[in-house]
Amino acid sequence: MTKLSVNVNKVATLRNARGGNIPDLVQVVTDCQLFGAEGITVHPRPDQRHIRYADVFDLQAKVYTEFNIEGNPTPEFITLIGRIRPAQVTLVPDAHDAITSDAGWDIVAHRDFLTDVVGEFQSMGVRTSIFINADPEMVRMASQIGTDRIELYTGPYAGAYHTNRETAVTPFIEAATLAKKLGLGVNAGHDLNLENLAWLHANIPWLKEVSIGHSLISDALYMGLKETIKAYKNCLKEPLMEV
């Protein structure tokens, strides 16, 4: 079964816009899990414009599902992971001033660095995932450096979905199929929503996890958090077998 990990960065963004503690990030995370989320994702950035490092420590004892911490493995980030020891760390090549993640790693160019980082996190007992584009070469390189999983950057899929969903999903099927053959777990994330998630999952039912934040939190403004999580999980149900 594909797990739904809720990225709560946007909740922190709303809180930070006004100061204080409304909305209460810890309470939202508690509710997400109560309402059925199988994981919580955070992505602290150096400028702390949404999730702060202090938030990660606050959430450490509250996340009883899977805690996934995303980020560029700077020395500060590596130290954070060593202290928190989450279930999973997802390596993302964000520039310090990036608005959002918009590309995967070039593992060829950063092979030695990523090999060292993956090894360090695995020695801590933390499952590692590398954020990559749907590129067979990057999948093969990810396998060679020994990461546990990849996370497919699904921005291009979401952008092309309404034009031609079959064409949009094809490179992702190919990348995920290759990853599966190479023994890599496959996660996915970025711009996934209630319109395009079910189609992605129907074509790649062996996805381990999807990480969704912006659209899910936006939908919750209209539907409520409980019903929104239910709706996203419905997109991840196994298709019925024809008799």
For residue 170, the domain's CATH number is 3.20.20.70
| Residue 93 within a domain | yes
Active site residues: 43, 70, 190
| Residue 79 within a domain | yes
For the question of whether the overall pTM of this predicted structure is more than 0.75, the answer is yes
The total of structural domains in the chain comes to 1
| Residue 60 within a domain | yes
CB 45 within 8 A of CB 69: no
| Residue 38 within a domain | yes
- Each of the 243 residues of the chain gets a pLDDT tens digit; together they read 999 999 999 999 999 999 999 999 999 999 999 999 999 999 998 888 899 999 999 999 999 999 999 999 999 999 999 999 999 999 999 765 555 556 799 999 999 999 999 999 999 999 999 999 999 999 999 999 999 999 999 999 999 999 999 999 999 999 999 999 999 999 999 999 999 999 999 999 999 999 999 999 999 999 999 999 999 999 999 764 443
Q: Which of 72, 67, 64 is nearest to 47 (CA)?
A: 72
**E strand residue ranges, 1-80:** 3-7, 39-42, 66-71
Domain that holds residue 196: 3-235
- The count of C-alpha atoms lying within 13 angstroms of the C-alpha of 90, restricted to the half-sphere facing its C-beta, is 30
CB 55 within 8 A of CB 42: yes
For the stretch 20-69, pLDDT in tens is 999 999 999 999 999 999 999 999 988 888 999 999 999 999 999 999 99
Q: How far apart are CA 132 and CA 220, in angstroms?
A: 28
| Residue 242 within a domain | no
